């Protein structure tokens, strides 16, 4: 590949027209996935912690089963996971390419990841604080809500930040199945068609959004710590 070939491509003036819609697609994909991730991964993490010996309702067998399921979602590299679940994706969304198809494997990986992050954040809450709730006559739900989630909030926000960044990364990998978004643009237009401007713009945009998300997340965590 020659430098001449690399220099070919979309003129800088045409780059925004390609990058911005792609950025929007990424945001859409990650946004939908994160909704699914928080609403399924959060409860799953709570279930894993609270069925463990340190939890509010220790159930060793259930704990082992749920834990195993969460590990399953995290044991395969994302590309392999995506290929593995193609039949399931076809079944759920009726297609194996495009944004819709990408959402399924991304959600599976994301839910498993967020479940572990939630479990870890709640494990950081001192166990004596659960006794405070129990001794004050709180129900399990009240303890989960007012003590576990309240005290673990900074950890949960840090986990959420980490998860969003991981999902942006996965959305780029999902570009391989034509998922659209900034990753797809980088791979399809930038890398495979040797379009250096697109490639550089994508890299720049990805670095920028990850930095912004991490910065915002860190700020949020700091403001939640007292």
Partner 1 sequence: MIEISGLTKRYGPHTVLDNIDFTVESGSIAAVVGRSGAGKSTLFRCVNLLERPTSGTVRVDGQELTHLPGRELRVARRKIGTVFQSANLLRRLTAAQNVALPLRFLRLPDDEIQQRVYDLLKRVGMLNRANHYPAQLSGGQRQRIGIARGLATRPSVLLSDEATSGLDPETTRSILRLLTELRDDLGVTMVVITHEMDVVRSVADVVAHLEHGQIVEHGRVGEIVRRSDSQLATALLPSEPAPAPVDGEVVWQLRYSDATVDPNWLSRVSRELDTDIALLSGLIETVGGDQAGRLTVRVSAALSPTAVAGAFAAYGIHAQVASPTEELVAS
In the complex with partner 1, which residue's Cβ is closer, 120 or 134? 134
Smallest distance, partner 1 to C-beta of residue 132, A: 5
CB 186 within 8 A of CB 204: no
Instruction: Please name which of 224, 94, 205, 201 lies closest in space to residue 151, comparing C-alpha atoms.
Output: 224
| Closer to partner 1 by Cβ: residue 128 or 192 | 128
Contact yes or no for 161/213 (Cβ under 8 A): yes
210 forms part of the interface with partner 1 (CB under 8 A): no
Cβ 20 to partner 1 shortest distance, Å: 39
Distance CA 91, CA 111 (A): 19
Residues 101 to 160 in contact with partner 1, rule: CB under 8 A: 126, 128-129, 131-139, 142, 146-147, 150-151, 153-154
Minimum separation from the CB atom of position 85 to partner 1 (A):
38
Residues in the chain: 226
How remote is the C-alpha of 126 from its chain's centroid? Answer: 27
User: Is the CB of 43 or the CB of 154 nearer to partner 1?
Assistant: 154
Work out how close the CB of 176 gets to partner 1 at its nearest, in angstroms, rounded to a whole number: 42
CA angle 80, 110, 127 (to 5 degrees): 130
Residue 226 in the binding site for partner 1 (CB under 8 A): yes
The site string for partner 1 over 163-182 (x = CB under 8 A, - otherwise) reads: --------------------
Please tell me the count of residues contacting partner 1 according to CB under 8 A.
Answer: 22
Distance, C-alpha 22 to centroid of its chain: 18
| Angle formed at CA 186 by CA 81 and CA 177, multiple of 5 degrees | 35
Residues found near partner 1 in the complex (CB under 8 A): 126, 128-129, 131-139, 142, 146-147, 150-151, 153-154, 224-226
């Amino acid at each position: 590949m020659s430098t001449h070939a690399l220099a070919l491509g979309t003129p800088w003036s045409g780059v925004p027209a390609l990058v911005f819609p792609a950025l929007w697609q990424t945001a859409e994909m990650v946004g939908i996935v994160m909704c699914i991730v928080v609403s399924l991964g959060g409860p799953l993490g709570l279930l894993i912690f609270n069925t463990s010996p340190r939890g509010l309702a220790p159930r060793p067998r259930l704990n082992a089963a749920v834990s195993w399921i969460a590990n399953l979602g995290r044991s395969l590299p994302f590309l392999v996971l995506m290929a593995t679940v193609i039949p399931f994706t076809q079944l759920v969304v009726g297609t194996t390419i495009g944004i819709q198809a990408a959402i399924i494997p991304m959600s599976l990986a994301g839910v498993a990841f967020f479940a572990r992050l939630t479990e870890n954040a709640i494990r950081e809450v001192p166990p004596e604080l659960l006794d405070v709730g129990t001794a004050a006559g709180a129900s399990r739900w009240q303890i989960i809500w007012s003590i576990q989630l309240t005290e673990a909030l900074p950890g949960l926000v840090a986990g959420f930040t980490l998860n969003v960044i991981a999902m942006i990364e996965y959305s780029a990998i999902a570009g391989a199945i034509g998922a659209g978004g900034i990753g797809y643009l980088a791979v399809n237009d930038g890398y495979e068609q040797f379009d250096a401007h697109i490639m550089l713009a994508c890299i720049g945009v990805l670095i920028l959004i990850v930095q912004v998300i991490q910065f915002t997340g860190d700020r949020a965590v700091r403001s939640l710590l007292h």
